[in-house]
Copies of this chain bind each other. A is one copy, B any other.
């Protein structure tokens, strides 16, 4: 037996030989078959089938410089990010859209700054065509680490430092937090409320700041005074903030919470104090997190964002960036970021 090889995977060459054509022709057929006469196409297809040929990825990448893979970078500090339904939906969107683009999702789980080196090496090594990262805290070095690898990247959520000092322009996809907040408060105003308070999210997260801005946009001296308490996007912080608000302004008649979790905390406190929702105090949340907003009593009126859609958009943006970079334009040409619209969902709380 001259060939003890168990089952070496067939190469282009093998297919070519079997089909009686050149490697070039096989390559053409495999890549769409444009410009090859039908009989040959058929012959090649048959050979591919019979041999069970599958193109070798590495070889292809080596010459095309394309990988068909995109990294999704997850920074661990974002605590139980996996359990976060928000995150799950976004990744689902990303995954689906990536499939459409025939690309693979490579998950990069970063447990801390100690691993930034590994990430840089991975990104720099050309394993992926681009990266998707999520808005991180302002002082994090990760964005700049990513940036230095020169791998195209799109952020999920407006990075707090976007547009800052010498910061490079980064493309990102974010919901219209400000507009959504504005709409929420206007709804409250339309309901005839005039003492509308806001429970704000953490000061180091852009989404929280944007929602606060939206609240400020809508609450004019005309509609009533601004009244803000600080929360931290958790149920407990929402409860605390609500208590504080009640102390400062016992006669408030509406609350716009920075997210559904805080709204549910606020709701609890409101009921403990014997205040009826929405009769005495109208309440609006943000996110439309199903596991929360639909299950409170009364169900929450809130602002919905298309999370899965945002994930898909991140991919589209990235793909465009990659396309652009392949062309004559230099790497700096960041395609504009995208702000997706939000929608007020009316339930019973306001």
Contacts and interface: CB of A to CB of B under 8 A. Distances in A.
Given A57-B126, A105-B109, 12 more contacts: A6-B331, A57-B58, A57-B61, A62-B62, A80-B88, A82-B87, A82-B88, A99-B115, A104-B108, A104-B127, A105-B107, A106-B107
Given A83-B88, A106-B104, A125 B57 contact: yes
A335 interface: no
B126 A56 contact: yes
A59 interface: yes
Contacts of A109: 92, 95, 105
A66 to B, nearest CB: 10
Most B-side CB within 10 Å, residue of A9, A58, A87:
A58
Contacts of A96: 111
Contact of A125 (B56, B72, B111, B122): B56
Nearest to A106: B106
Contacts of A126: 9, 54, 56-58
B104 A55 contact: no
A67 B59 CA distance: 12
Contacts of A106: 69, 104-107
A62 B58 CA distance: 5
Given A58-B58, A126-B56, A91 B99 contact: no
Interface string A113-146: 0010010011011110000000000000000000
